A and B are shown apart, each in its own frame.
Chain A
């Protein structure tokens, strides 16, 4: 009987509370939100970019938070994914959307392996500089060779509609659901990897590479694997970002600012946690919105919009410093501490 109970409590290594949380999240996102939220603004300006960027942040989390490789260039991989998806749908007749999405992820993953190569030689801040190459090279390549943009001269290419099984998904709610499915699947896979032997290998390389190698972990394979998976996630995220949020394809959208944004999401959210990617993305996206509405509603426009956006930068900077000093594991850890305190008090 005892045995049976403990079996019921865990499914694939997850505890009951993990599963309950997952179920609640699923009901909330698939049922409650579509029923309650009716305004397009929420979908197209908050939920859709949040999910896209959270997905990219998971990628950054894998390479930086788990494998400990300081990489900066997530936006480059996003651009690779976005333009790969554009070209696949354009040039391959009748390609199903999810297949195109998966393939664009793989294209980005190939770039990830290429630009992950410096990690075998350099580390830390030097690696960060080396991985900047991906950021600049990919965007430059797309700009330089007209083929990637289908020789469009206007500079802004409209993204194709998402068509799944003959049905177009064009309304914000429909697009939200498409993204939600992709993000859910990829998040579950990422959590599985992070908790399994794959994640342990990454973390071992992060914490002490010499010891990891002495235990039989190949540094080459593990680092490149992390880079490839990171780029895959970023590539898929980039394609979704372009097709659902931007609704256009322009290399400038994937500039270094976006890479830094994703980096901040991971640092603020918490290095080495998948949930941190979601928390960080939500914070970085919602904070400016919040600040704006405070500026408009409390001060009634007395504060100039440019000042507000400057305040935003200042607050981010301060927060990052504060987190680096007091809670390097970010908001996810903070949340964990709060939960722990309550469960002890009970």
Chain B
């Protein structure tokens, strides 16, 4: 991977320090630290229930970790709610699809433009020039995303009626629409066939290459992970057991044990 990149990997942009998350007596994440570098694609892997999604939910503010701190762009985030995190420029997709089912594809993506639209309800109600200009401008942006993801033919369909693979694409589109420079993708390729996975990889790499978006993604398909990520974090039972470039991680004995199981004799 020594190809020249438009956006070379830089300084750490997100630093997670000693995070612990408990649900009652169950420890979901234990004292975990890792950092994400600017413009990199970082994969989080691990067996089911290892705490991958919980980790994203902590960064996103859906869960509040009991211990530890999260710093974004050099600043420790004091109060973390999904809404504030979105304003800081972190966007995400969800593991089991969190689309607005009764809204059309285009409307879903338009919601992603929320932070770029600031006319209030009065301006919208009276269709004042500001609201109209804003709507037009953001609609154009969303049309661009729709074209980029090659879903223009279904843009007016309610997302609830779409097959799973397309819904995943719409969700990526919505996350892209935020123009966040930090994107977290929770299993973007789950349930897809090889063809669809390849296409999704292409989109992810293209976004990273053209916009320099930093990405954190959770994925189970090792082939995909090894191909597209710059660095890999491996979680097992809520603990980080490896963190490094794909090749290094693949050779790590602990990782092999976690995935293949190890005999206790």
Chain A residues near B (Cβ < 8 Å): 12-13, 189-190, 192-193, 196-198, 200-201, 203-204, 206-208, 210-219, 225, 229, 272
**In the complex the two chains form, is A197's CB within 8 Å of B119's CB?**
yes
**In the complex the two chains form, is B126's CB within 8 Å of A210's CB?**
no
Complex-state Cα separation, A208 to B135, whole angstroms: 22
**In the complex the two chains form, is A189's CB within 8 Å of B87's CB?**
no
* 8 cross-chain CB contacts under 8 A: A192-B126, A196-B124, A197-B117, A197-B134, A204-B111, A208-B99, A214-B82, A216-B86
**In the complex the two chains form, is B82's CB within 8 Å of A192's CB?**
no
The 8 Å CB contact of A201, one of B111, B131, B178, is B111
Q: Does B110 sit at the interface, judged by CB under 8 A?
A: yes
**A-chain residues with CB within 8 Å of residue B103 when the two chains form the complex:** 200, 203-204, 207
The 8 Å CB contact of B124, one of A197, A208, A212, is A197
Query: Contacts A192-B127, A196-B131, A197-B131 given: A214-B92 contact, CB under 8 Å?
Result: yes
Query: Contacts A196-B124, A200-B110, A229-B121 given: A216-B115 contact, CB under 8 Å?
Result: yes
Taking the closest CB of chain B, its distance from the CB of A270, in whole angstroms, is 12
Query: Contacts A192-B124, A211-B99, A211-B100 given: A201-B82 contact, CB under 8 Å?
Result: no
**In the complex the two chains form, is B100's CB within 8 Å of A13's CB?**
no
**In the complex the two chains form, is B110's CB within 8 Å of A189's CB?**
no
Taking the closest CB of chain B, its distance from the CB of A156, in whole angstroms, is 36
**In the complex the two chains form, is A197's CB within 8 Å of B135's CB?**
yes
**B-chain residues with CB within 8 Å of residue A196 when the two chains form the complex:** 124-125, 127, 131, 135
Query: Contacts A201-B111, A215-B112, A215-B174 given: A189-B126 contact, CB under 8 Å?
Result: yes
Q: Does B81 sit at the interface, judged by CB under 8 A?
A: yes
Quick one: which of B62, B100, B178 has the most chain A CB within 10 A? Answer: B100
Q: Is the interface of B mostly helix, strand, loop or mixed?
A: helix
Q: Does B73 sit at the interface, judged by CB under 8 A?
A: no
Taking the closest CB of chain B, its distance from the CB of A183, in whole angstroms, is 15
Select from chain A the residue with minimum beta-carbon distance to B60: A214
Complex-state Cα separation, A272 to B160, whole angstroms: 16
Taking the closest CB of chain B, its distance from the CB of A87, in whole angstroms, is 26
Q: Does B85 sit at the interface, judged by CB under 8 A?
A: yes
**In the complex the two chains form, is A211's CB within 8 Å of B94's CB?**
yes
Query: Contacts A189-B126, A214-B60, A217-B111 given: A207-B101 contact, CB under 8 Å?
Result: yes
Q: Does B22 sit at the interface, judged by CB under 8 A?
A: no
**In the complex the two chains form, is B100's CB within 8 Å of A193's CB?**
no
Q: Does B114 sit at the interface, judged by CB under 8 A?
A: yes
Quick one: which of A13, A192, A197, A213 has the most chain B CB within 10 A? Answer: A197
**B-chain residues with CB within 8 Å of residue A217 when the two chains form the complex:** 83, 111, 114
Complex-state Cα separation, A198 to B110, whole angstroms: 12
Select from chain B the residue with minimum beta-carbon distance to A228: B121
Complex-state Cα separation, A109 to B102, whole angstroms: 28
**In the complex the two chains form, is B114's CB within 8 Å of A201's CB?**
yes
Select from chain A the residue with minimum beta-carbon distance to B116: A216
Taking the closest CB of chain A, its distance from the CB of B207, in whole angstroms, is 17
**A-chain residues with CB within 8 Å of residue B111 when the two chains form the complex:** 200-201, 204, 212, 215, 217
Taking the closest CB of chain A, its distance from the CB of B143, in whole angstroms, is 14
Taking the closest CB of chain B, its distance from the CB of A196, in whole angstroms, is 4
**A-chain residues with CB within 8 Å of residue B110 when the two chains form the complex:** 197, 200
**In the complex the two chains form, is B178's CB within 8 Å of A216's CB?**
yes
Q: Does B26 sit at the interface, judged by CB under 8 A?
A: no
Query: Contacts A197-B124, A201-B114, A215-B174 given: A207-B99 contact, CB under 8 Å?
Result: yes
**B-chain residues with CB within 8 Å of residue A207 when the two chains form the complex:** 99-103
Taking the closest CB of chain B, its distance from the CB of A116, in whole angstroms, is 15
Select from chain B the residue with minimum beta-carbon distance to A218: B83
**In the complex the two chains form, is B82's CB within 8 Å of A210's CB?**
yes
The 8 Å CB contact of A198, one of B100, B107, B125, is B125
Q: A212-B111, A218-B83 are in contact. List 20 more A-B contacts (CB 8 A).
A: A13-B135, A189-B126, A190-B125, A192-B125, A193-B125, A197-B114, A198-B121, A198-B124, A200-B103, A203-B100, A204-B111, A207-B102, A207-B103, A213-B83, A214-B62, A214-B85, A214-B98, A215-B91, A216-B178, A272-B102
Binary flags per residue of B153-197, CB closer than 8 Å to A gives 1, else 0: 000000000000000000000100010000000000000000000
Q: Does B202 sit at the interface, judged by CB under 8 A?
A: no
Taking the closest CB of chain A, its distance from the CB of B123, in whole angstroms, is 9
Complex-state Cα separation, A217 to B91, whole angstroms: 12
